[in-house]
Amino acid sequence: MRKTLISAILLVFAQICLPASIDPIIKGRIIEKDTQNSIEFADVILTKKGETTASAHTYSETDGKFAFTNIGEGEYILIVRLVGYDIYSSNSTINLTSSSGILDLGIIELKPLEVGLSEVVIEASKRQIIYKLDKRVIEASSNLMSSGGTAVDILENTPSIRVDAEGEVTFRGSSGFKVYIDGKPSLYTGTLALQQVPSGQIDNIEIITTPSARHDTEGDVGIINIITKKDSQQGFSGMVNLTGSTVFSNGGDFMFTKQNKDLQWYLAGGWSKVIRKSDFEQEKTTIVGDLTTISQSDGPRQSKNYNYFGRNGYIYSGLPNTTINIEAEAGYGKRIRKGDLDYTEEQSKNNTPLTSGHYASRDFYDLHQYYIQGNTGFGHKFNSEGHELTGRFLLRYEGDALEYFQSDLFDMNNERAQGHRAWEDEHRWAVQGNLDYILPYSKTGKVEAGYQYHSYLEDGDYSMQFWNPEKKEFYWRDDIYNTFYFQRGIHSIYAIGADSYKSFDLQLGLRGEHTHQVLRSSIEGADRTVNRFEVFPSVHLGYNLPNDQKLTFAYSYRTTRPQLFYMEPYITYRDYYSAEKGNPDIRPEYINSFELNYKRNLGENVLSSSLFYRYRKDKIERLRIPFEAGVTLDSMANVGHDRAMGVELNGQIKVNRWWNMNLNGNVYYYKVENEFKLDGKNETSTNYDITLNNLFDVHKNTRIQLDGNFVGPSVTTQGRSDAFWFVNLAIRQQLFNRKLQSTLSFRDILNTARYKSDISTANLESITRIRPYYPVITLSLSYTFNNFKKKSESSRDNRDLFEGTNH
């Protein structure tokens, strides 16, 4: 299979590596006419005089600059377009000859349209995915299914993004990605960080699969950077978003801004209640010594996630070439999960039946906390060529953080037979700071350097009660009580050099990190202290091919440090049959990532492919073993190494003026080399996902989206999960001069989504089946006023589908 996959991948790149002759170069810079700010992601199109099809196409960079290379001789017209701006067309033809050399068009100004909501005008919809040298950019407004959701919803149609039945996001088979917000590391991790940001407040999302040394080294498959919306025009304006669904999920968010010359004020806030319902079924066989327990549980599961936040900030730009910002934010989060299951159990010893029982299993979980945070920063530009110094400091406190577990078994007379309660009470502090410097040394080259610091502290205690059937009361388990303290501080320095020569782009980086980590526990022998210095290199190469093609290569060395709950050395319970325990000796993962990308623009169509290889050492994974009769114990362990090699394909096709199609597919070979040998074995699989996204512009104010999604099977060291598929439908209507936008979405309209996973070892067999609540219909409304115009700072979570996969 690997030889076949390698052969297929090589064919993709077989005809794109021929050297190109050096032809004339066209370059320029795009800015907004009113504010003189640089414009990123503008469509820059070059057409031959008298023709209507594009001869070349590119996008403007962060600083507004663009360049065309390897352009043949002839007469051309330059067109620049971006949603929300008047289309720019060069007044005169551009004549290129073999002696033209570098033709600098200078500054090109785009004039904003009067209607600020024109970002979502259907006649000029944005591309769903934009490919850059070191990242891909996902346009938030292009996915109708994300309306009323979160950042996870926007990622729905991204190649290699997968959302499991619990709503957990994985990318290229891993959940180990780091989340940034406006270029700053989030204090949350993985899916939880993505779920904190409402989709209505997101401009776009950057996926950086092989980050440079500038970025934090956490995240084995890279970084997801969420770019939020900001208003860029004078006066007062704002937007309000509301959403609700048939499972009674609901939410809303708002943003108000006021710009007075050099001072901008903004206020944002929101709430969300996300409800996930499923029918849950699980069969377990556990063997402990000579005692065999066979159990079956069946019934509904439900989870509710609540989030509330408010944010207020000021941006002052009255000093020469300097901007200062200050921001305060507060919020509250709460997650509830409960199950009401019918439970049967049979026990035998050496094949001789012993006992059997029929119970009602009721479990309840509650995690909540409030937070307060403040941050301030500055940016100073020494000139207009990119020579700048920036800095930032953030302090965050999370209080009243309580994690509560409750699980009970009731007999058929509704008498409690077994039960327990658990409380994990804690307080958390986080500090982040950075200082970054950029120095251009030529028209194409620059060096960057910086210092970054991150510290996280958590302390608390854990206590538990068990039910005494004889006394019919709960009693404290003093042997389980535990106090804990955890602190991790990371000092980082980095340096990057980047330059371009003719058709080549090069970026080299080196990052050094010192980690100091302390874990203290009242459990004897569980204290740990770590001091470690490590070096992480990165390489990015680019080559511009003829006919508007580009080839890039990237390498980065990264790590995934274990989270605290991976290391907590005491037992907790998800329900009466599912216990968990951390491992204080778990080691970080280390990852070598390689990636080769190819992109070609064919007029208004885009074809791209990515070949990737990832080797991960000391892979961290959850393992499940029998603990007591009928009870399993989950723990985290370094199970060995894994390898993933595959290819991603993306086609953005404009079928005609009213039909746009986006086809994403990926296939990768995955192998887990199990060295833990806990009744596991080496597992291999060929994983594949396919998403077909269709956008139909049925009217200038009406758009329909139809998605088809196929999620292939996957494996772990102990089992596998089956494939499933589903279809989504969404309709968006714009009203009142496009100030009001309504979206009605239908998830899994054919009711085909089913989740099944199994675990098989020498002393454990477990099969889990989950059927989501149906139907899930969501209505979202978005309103903007006073010409609110969004400006960015430099897979959907199928959360209503499944609930209960971690049981």
Neighbouring C-beta atoms of residue 599, cutoff 10 Å: 21
Instruction: State how far the Cα of 377 lies from the Cα of 313, in Å rounded to an integer.
Output: 11
Per-residue pLDDT, 671: 84
Average pLDDT for runs of 10 along the chain of length 807: 48 42 74 80 82 76 80 84 79 78 85 48 50 70 70 70 65 73 73 74 81 85 80 76 90 89 91 88 86 89 90 92 95 90 88 86 90 95 91 93 88 88 92 95 92 94 91 90 93 95 90 96 90 95 82 92 86 74 90 90 81 90 78 84 88 87 87 65 77 88 89 74 88 87 90 86 84 86 72 34 39
Q: One-letter amino acid identity for 145?
A: M
Per-residue pLDDT, 242: 93
Q: One-letter amino acid identity for 614?
A: R
Would you give the distance in Å from CA 625 to the centre of its chain?
31
Instruction: State how far the Cα of 242 lies from the Cα of 261, in Å rounded to an integer.
Output: 31
Instruction: State how far the Cα of 60 lies from the Cα of 42, in Å rounded to an integer.
Output: 5
Instruction: State how far the Cα of 377 lies from the Cα of 597, in Å rounded to an integer.
Output: 35
DSSP for 325-341 reads EEEEEEEEEEEEEEEEE
Neighbouring C-beta atoms of residue 703, cutoff 10 Å: 22
Q: One-letter amino acid identity for 198?
A: P
Per-residue pLDDT, 167: 60
Per-residue pLDDT, 437: 97
Beta-sheet pairing, 388-410 with 482-501: unpaired
Beta-sheet pairing, 184-185 with 178-181: antiparallel
Q: What Å distances lie between residue 444 and 309, 422, 654, CA to CA?
A: 42, 60, 34
Per-residue pLDDT, 334: 92
Instruction: State how far the Cα of 255 lies from the Cα of 788, in Å rounded to an integer.
Output: 10
Contact 460, 422 (CB under 8 A): no
3-state secondary structure 25-93: EEEEEEEECCCCCECCCCEEEEEECCCCCCCEEEECCCCCEEEECCCCCEEEEEEEECCCECCEECCCC
Residues 6+ away with beta carbon under 8 Å from 595: 209, 210, 552, 553, 554, 555, 610, 611, 612, 613
How confident is the model over 752-765, as pLDDT tens digits? 988 888 888 778 88
φ, ψ (nearest 5 deg) of residue 69: -120, 160
DSSP 544: E
∠ Cα 703 709 714 (to 5°)? 155
Contact 213, 494 (CB under 8 A): yes
Contact 461, 434 (CB under 8 A): no
Helix (H, G, I), strand (E, B) or coil at 258: strand
* Strand partners for 732: 703, 743
Of 372, 433, 364, the closest CA to residue 401 belongs to 372
Residues 6+ away with beta carbon under 8 Å from 398: 369, 370, 371, 427, 428, 429, 430
Place of tokens 């409750």: 406
Cis peptide before 211 (omega within 30 of 0): no
How confident is the model over 403-446, as pLDDT tens digits? 898 888 898 888 898 888 999 999 999 999 999 999 999 988 99
Per-residue pLDDT, 480: 84
Instruction: State how far the Cα of 173 lies from the Cα of 789, in Å rounded to an integer.
Output: 37
* Strand partners for 11: none
Look at phi and psi of residue 62 and say left if phi exceeds 0, alpha if psi is from -120 to 50, else beta.
Answer: alpha
Write the burial class of residue 474 (CB in 10 Å: 0-12 exposed, 13-18 middle, 19+ buried). middle
Place of tokens 């299914």: 145
Helix (H, G, I), strand (E, B) or coil at 12: helix
| Cα dihedral 615, 159, 128, 798 in deg (nearest 10) | -120
Of 195, 696, 102, 792, the closest CA to residue 443 belongs to 102
Look at phi and psi of residue 474 and say left if phi exceeds 0, alpha if psi is from -120 to 50, else beta.
Answer: beta
Full-model pTM: 0.75
Instruction: State how far the Cα of 26 lies from the Cα of 103, in Å rounded to an integer.
Output: 5
Per-residue pLDDT, 799: 25
